[in-house]
Amino acid sequence: MNRFIECVGVGKIYPGKNEPVEALRGIDFTCDAGDFVCLLGRSGCGKSTLLQMMAGLEAPTAGQIAVAGRELHGPSPDAAIVFQDHGLFPWMTVQKNVEFNMKARATPAAERRRIAGHFIAMTSLTGFEGRYPHELSGGMRQRVGIARALTTDPKALLMDEPFGALDAQTRGNLQDELLKIWEKRRTTVLFVTHSIDEALLLADRILVFSPRPGRIAADIRVDLPRPRAPQSDAFSALARELRGLVGAERDFD
């Protein structure tokens, strides 16, 4: 297989007000190109910290992270990150927000418009190019964030609870759209969530994190065919297994 992301002995310690806070300890895992991996665990277990380190936005205090065969020493040119709060510029239109990363890379204007138009259409935003973020629903703002992330053709899409603040129907719609994009492009996806059902609906593989300091408590392969039915016996059995691993009777905060 084509090993794409590799973490070896990764740890993270923050200074803390009174004493150091150990967020992560001894993270070892590899991810192949094209995998869809969910990082599942309670809030505060270090999932988002690990994602930001894989994007090169933070440095580990122990171990090393390599993306596409290169050890990270800063932001990765091969990865794009999507946050829960979408991170759009309120003074920019949808078109300008989607073009932003390309403009930062000095992509010519005509090429920016062409590529942005492609991903605006892919994320069902055609007709909203001239709107501003405050004129959009929460789900539409997340679509803009995803479109912007895709414009630089990242080899890895890192998503930090991108649908966590949305209502159930919008969340389900965006999960379906994300899977369609992934199935078409086969971009490697690492997706942080604390929802067991979301992880089972999306992932080929689920990494279950222990409470802080976060460690990988289990690495679960999800072999259920897509589209997945939460009512099925196989889905329910895996959900019970995951609840046992995280020690929760339902999705957790």
Domains and CATH numbers, the chain: 3-78+154-246 (3.40.50.300)
In the prediction, which pLDDT does 164 show? 81
Q: What is the pLDDT of residue 61?
A: 95
The pLDDT score that the predictor gives to residue 85 is 76
pLDDT along the chain (253 residues), means of 10: 86 88 93 94 88 92 91 88 84 95 89 92 91 92 90 90 85 89 91 93 94 91 90 92 72 43
Reference 156, options 10, 8, 35, 9; nearest CA is 35
Backbone CA torsion sign across 111, 36, 39, 25: negative
| Spatial separation of the C-alpha atoms in residues 144 and 183, rounded to whole Å | 19
Q: Are 81 and 52 in contact (CB under 8 A)?
A: yes
With a threshold of 0.75, does the pTM exceed it? yes
Among 170, 164, 238, 165, residue whose Cα is nearest residue 201: 238
Identify the pLDDT of residue 247.
Answer: 67
